[in-house]
């Protein structure tokens, strides 16, 4: 994103356009201050704060040569130590291994083969701990009570499966704890760091929970369910006997339960919500009690088990006002907390909170160059699909507009990726950028979106390009019927599955959209299935049931693959792709672009050779969003310019 593209409509003209719309609704609507693309998509000033176990320091990520690197600062001091100097790729994530050493993960060019590195907080003893080619590392247990070791998993022995290892964080010495027989998807330790629980895929479509009393014992299967059912272990009870889990066994919405691994059954329900899955559970290591459960309605919400923590949140709310916030880090004693605030209009700030004195002090604003008074509100909305499902979503209107006065606006429809994920309320730089340019932005949690229960999720099976796409189309028609959208100025933009939905939108409903932006999207369900990462192989039978089987569902999959229907495309298309994408192979974009060019249709195509599933390097983000801005202005706003 090094090159700048001039926006086709200047700020004075854009203000005039808003005034024209305002006159129609008998109100004067003043435009927001127009920020530069870079203001929305540049790296934060400082982020990802984490307290050291002893509470003396915090570490954070900050830009160095346009890449996010790790810094350490003693609390109360203005001086800091820069621990990493990576100029090629952002640090993907980090954590305190003990008071003296930090571990971090990074990949190469977006290939998602994350390697683990370590460095002492004075900068000494740096080095790679799992520096193996084409191997992906993730952390199972940081072992906070054991200073020199952590437990990780890697697909070093076999690219398709992950084995657990105990790792010496100073020397890099590895000890394999178990050999994955080929079907285990996750490993879980007890509170003493002993590997005692695993979740496996059986026959490609069933899930089993495996348990052992000690690390000397063999794993035994204690429960097997269809993959459509959820029994997702969170962690052991504090006596290391039972399991806390999210479960929808015998119910539509997942609840927090206590599960007996010896009997293979639920003992009791600790918390459930009648409308939403409860998918998060948190605890105090010091008190050895559960603290909160989390679910998401239109916002993230909590159920408190710990009344003391509930009082703490009440005090924080009184101090911080209407901002949403969460605990992002705490020291080992749990008497110092780092609080992260956020809203739909702001990346928020970090605060240090002392639970003993109840003193709260701001550490830093994440993006102080943005004035949230100039940002737009993300409003929750609902509509009904053609077959009677309630679809929840969000509508972000340009500053000054409300649901009452928003009429005939240009709209960007933005379906989420996953697809088995969901949009949530909160700050989204893409949404705010588009709203700042005068577009309404429409996000919808179409069927299959998570958090709304099992039946809503299952309603998406084998519905790519069918009912899932209908949910998007029904939402667009709802906006048109409400008078909010100018039906001649609607664009669709999405990434990953959202990119697929974009391509499906311009092939299945070719007259609906005036412009389309496909970002790392699937175009051909057959080739997509053939190019998944090797460690997804055990999920292939599930994907056949959820998306389609190339052998038995070939006609359906062909109908749902946009690449076979390029003859229907009338909409100007912009495609962006990372060359190293391990999830959506670059061939998905290549074949779509080639098919259009073979028909003599021009398509704008951006490929970044040093990116994967999405653009993470700052300059690449700039390139992409500058190009998107130019593209959308040309195809959605240029007719207004002619009218003037």
> What residues act catalytically?
496, 581, 613
Say if residues 53 and 144 touch (Cβ distance below 8 Å). yes
**Ordered strands of the 243-247 beta sheet:** 231-236, 243-247, 255-260, 265-271
Task: Classify residue 612 by its DSSP letter.
Answer: B
- Count the neighbouring beta carbons within 10 Å of the beta carbon of residue 240: 15
- Residue 389's contacts (CB-CB under 8 Å, 6 or more residues apart) are 447, 456, 459, 471
What is the b/e burial string over 512-543, where b = at least 16 CB atoms within 10 angstroms of the residue's CB? bbbbbbbbbbbbbbebbbebbbebeebbebbb
Q: How far is CA 288 from the centre of its chain?
A: 30
- Alpha carbon distance 86, 96 (integer Å): 19
What is the b/e burial string over 488-509, where b = at least 16 CB atoms within 10 angstroms of the residue's CB? ebbbbbbbbbbbbbbbbbbbbb
- Alpha carbon distance 496, 501 (integer Å): 9
Residue 515: name the closest of 551, 491, 496, 541 by CA.
491
Cα torsion through 506, 510, 512, 513, rounded to 10? 50
Say if residues 238 and 187 touch (Cβ distance below 8 Å). no
Q: Which CA distances in Å does 570 have to 445, 468, 573? A: 26, 22, 9
Do you find a cis peptide bond into 419, omega within 30 degrees of 0?
yes
Say if residues 154 and 160 touch (Cβ distance below 8 Å). no
């Amino acid at each position: 994103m090094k090159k700048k593209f001039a926006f086709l409509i200047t700020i004075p003209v854009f203000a005039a356009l808003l005034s024209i719309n305002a006159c129609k609704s008998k109100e004067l609507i003043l435009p927001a201050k127009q920020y530069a693309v870079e203001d929305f998509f540049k790296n934060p000033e400082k982020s990802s704060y984490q307290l050291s176990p002893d509470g003396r320091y915090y570490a954070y990520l900050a830009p160095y040569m346009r890449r996010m690197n790790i810094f350490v600062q003693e609390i109360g001091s203005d001086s800091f130590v820069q621990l990493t100097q990576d100029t090629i790729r952002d640090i993907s994530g980090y954590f305190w291994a003990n008071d003296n050493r930090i571990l971090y993960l990074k990949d190469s060019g977006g290939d998602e083969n994350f390697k683990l590195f370590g460095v002492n907080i004075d900068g000494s003893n740096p080095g790679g701990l799992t520096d193996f080619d084409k191997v992906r590392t993730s952390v199972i247990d940081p072992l906070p009570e054991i200073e020199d070791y952590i437990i990780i998993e890697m697909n070093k022995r076999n690219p398709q499966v992950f084995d657990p290892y105990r790792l010496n964080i100073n020397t890099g010495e590895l000890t394999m704890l178990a050999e994955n027989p080929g079907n285990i998807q996750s490993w879980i330790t007890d509170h003493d760091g002993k590997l005692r629980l695993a979740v496996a895929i059986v026959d490609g479509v069933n899930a089993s929970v495996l348990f052992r009393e000690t690390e000397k014992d063999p794993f035994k299967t204690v429960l097997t369910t269809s993959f459509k059912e959820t029994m997702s272990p969170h962690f052991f009870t504090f006596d290391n006997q039972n399991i806390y889990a999210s479960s929808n066994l015998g119910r539509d919405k997942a609840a927090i339960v206590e599960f007996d691994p010896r009997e293979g059954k639920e003992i009791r329900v600790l918390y459930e919500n009648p409308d939403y899955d409860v998918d998060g559970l948190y605890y105090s290591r010091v008190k050895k009690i559960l603290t909160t459960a989390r679910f998401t309605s239109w916002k993230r919400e909590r159920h408190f088990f710990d009344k003391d923590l509930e009082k703490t949140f009440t005090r924080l709310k009184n101090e911080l006002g209407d901002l949403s916030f969460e605990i992002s880090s705490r020291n080992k004693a749990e008497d110092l907390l780092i609080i992260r605030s956020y809203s739909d209009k702001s990346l928020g700030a970090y605060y240090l909170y002392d639970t003993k004195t109840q003193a709260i002090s701001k550490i830093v604003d994440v993006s102080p160059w943005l004035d949230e008074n100039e940002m737009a509100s993300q409003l929750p909305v609902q509509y009904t699909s053609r077959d009677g499902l309630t679809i929840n979503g969000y509508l972000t209107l340009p500053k000054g507009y409300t649901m009452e006065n928003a009429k005939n606006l240009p709209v960007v429809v933005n379906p989420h990726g996953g697809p088995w994920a969901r949009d949530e309320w909160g700050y989204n730089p893409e949404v705010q950028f588009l709203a700042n340019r005068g577009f309404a932005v429409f996000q919808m949690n179409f069927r299959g979106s998570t958090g709304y229960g099992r039946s809503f999720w299952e309603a998406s099976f084998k519905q790519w390009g069918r009912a899932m796409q209908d949910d998007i189309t029904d939402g667009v028609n709802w906006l048109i019927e409400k008078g909010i959208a100018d039906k001649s100025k609607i664009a669709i933009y999405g990434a990953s599955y959202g990119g697929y939905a974009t391509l499906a939108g311009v092939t299945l409903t070719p007259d609906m959209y005036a412009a389309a932006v496909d970002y790392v999207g699937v175009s051909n369900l057959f080739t997509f299935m053939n190019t998944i990462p090797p460690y997804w192989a055990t999920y292939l039978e599930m994907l056949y049931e959820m998306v389609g089987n190339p052998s038995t569902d070939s006609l359906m999959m062909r109908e749902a693959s946009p690449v076979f229907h390029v003859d229907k495309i009338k909409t100007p298309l912009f495609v962006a792709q990372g060359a190293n994408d391990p999830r959506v192979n670059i061939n998905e974009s290549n074949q779509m672009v080639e098919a259009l060019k073979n028909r003599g249709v021009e398509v704008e195509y951006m490929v970044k050779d040093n990116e994967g599933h999405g653009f993470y390097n700052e300059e690449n983000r700039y390139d992409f969003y500058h190009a998107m801005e130019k593209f959308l202005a040309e195809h959605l706003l240029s007719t207004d310019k002619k009218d003037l």
